[in-house]
Every structure is written in structure tokens, then in C-alpha cells.
Structure 1
Amino acid sequence: MTLTVREERLGAWWVLRVEGELDLVSAPTVRRRVHDAVAEGRRDLIIDLGGVRFCDSTGVGVLIAARRLLRSCAGRLRIILPPEAGGEGSHVNRVLAALGVLRLFEHYPDPESAARDAAEPLPT
């Protein structure tokens, strides 16, 4: 399965919609898209992981690096993790929770709720 990343604007936020497998082979694509967004001056970024069917430690590393990068330039990062237990994207939720890093991220069920500036993240 290949990885696709689509970009769109949602209010003040930029959304990277990631679909496919986020692994050793595809993670550099997501890393590059995050770096490109920051280089273009985008500081409010949502990474939508709802379409990610598989994520390995390399993918988790990219998410942590994105968080670090955005924090270093006074930016904000929010991620989308669908709440349904068997839905696409739930694999990422389980991986992040199992590794103990889910708490590092503001995560939401959909881009619209994440884009609200007063949005409250889902509990971890």
C-alpha cells in the first residue's frame, strides 16, 4: 500500500491528510511535508491520521519530530485519531498509547473539531 498526503486549509489551520501505511519507507514523505509547511510559514498544523492503516516506530518518530519542530517555532500541532475502535486510524491510536506517547499530542476525532481554537483535546 502506498502513502498519500493531501493538504488543505481549514480556517487558520493547515491539514495534512495522511492515508496508507506510515512506516520506514513512507515516513520521509510525511516528514518532508511537515518541514515544507513550516518553511512556508505555516505554524498551525493538523495531521489527520484517520486514513492510516499501519504505523511503525518510524512513523511515531516522525510525529514526535513534527511536534518538536512546531514547538520550536511557536507553532501548534494537533493530530486526528478517529475514536471508533475498529475504524481506520485506530491502529495509530493503539500504537501511540502502547508506546506511552499519546499524551504528548493534542488529539481530536476530526479536523473540524481540531481547527476550533478553543477545542478541547480528547482525554488520553
Structure 2
Amino acid sequence: MDSPVSFGTSMVGDERVVTVTGELDLTNCSTFEKALLTAVAATRRGCELVVDLSGVRFFDVSALRALLAAADAAQAARVRLRLTASPVVGRVIDVLGADLSRADRGLIRTPDGVRPRISIPPST
């Protein structure tokens, strides 16, 4: 049985926003990856794609792999990717040591291309 998850896409000015809520795991990571790759393809070169995972309650390594695949696609398409993550997502990224801000990956950069833009609220 698939884990409960919902995806939404909207435009805020020149930014395309993909909002994900629920649980991301092996049962739905391919759908997550397809949604992100579709959003990358629909985002104009030089514009920003925001991946809002602030409503994600569960996030496993398969979801992280999908996020990294989308980051690679965004880099190739010259689309800036910005991640807003829930504490759950942030913990997985930290525990696994995923470097989402590597210069060669092209993920999560400020407009000046220097510092990572990851927004992870503190755990309560």
C-alpha cells in the first residue's frame, strides 16, 4: 500500500513551487522523482524551482535519491533549486551526510551562487 502523500505545483512570480506533504518512501519515490523532473523541465533556464518539503512527515533514502536526481537535472537545465525542508527531512540529510550544496551538484544556491539555501525549522 502506498504511503499517503500529496503533490502540488504553483507559480509565485518567476518561481515554480513544488509542495509535498505526507510521507515519502520507497512506495512513492518514483512518483516524487517524476514530479520533480517534470517541474525542472517546465522551469525556464535561470529561474528558480522551490521544492517545499516542510509538510513531509517521513523521508527515507529513496526519497533523498529522487531529490538528488532532480538536483542533477536542474543543474543540467541551469535551473536554480531551493529546498525548504521539515525537521524530518533535515535529519535524514544530516544523518546520511548528503551534501546538497556541493558546487558541482548545483543545488540550493543563493542568487549569487555562493551559499546554500536550505531552510529547516528547528525540531520542537
Question: C-alpha displacement at 1:32, in angstroms?
Answer: 1.1
CA displacement 1:22-59 (0-9 Å, x = unmatched): 11111112111122223334452111010000011100
Equivalenced residues, count? 109
CA displacement 1:54-90 (0-9 Å, x = unmatched): 0111000011111111001111111002xxxxxxx21
Q: Secondary structure at the match of 2:26?
A: coil
Instruction: Give the gaps of 5 or more residues in structure 1.
Output: 82-88, 108-113
Identity of aligned residues (%): 30
**Do the aligned partners of 2:43 and 2:49 also contact (CA within 8 Å) in 1?**
no
Q: Distance in 2 between matches of 1:14 and 1:62?
A: 18
1:78–1:100 distance in 2 versus 1, CA, 3 Å: same
Cα-Cα RMSD: 2.6
TM-score w.r.t. the length of structure 2 is 0.75
Residue 67 of structure 1 is matched in structure 2 by 71
Instruction: Give the gaps of 5 or more residues in structure 2.
Output: 102-106
TM-score w.r.t. the length of structure 1 is 0.75
**Do the aligned partners of 1:47 and 1:78 also contact (CA within 8 Å) in 2?**
yes
Q: Which has the higher helix share?
A: 1
Q: Secondary structure at the match of 1:70?
A: helix
Q: Distance in 1 between matches of 2:53 and 2:44?
A: 19
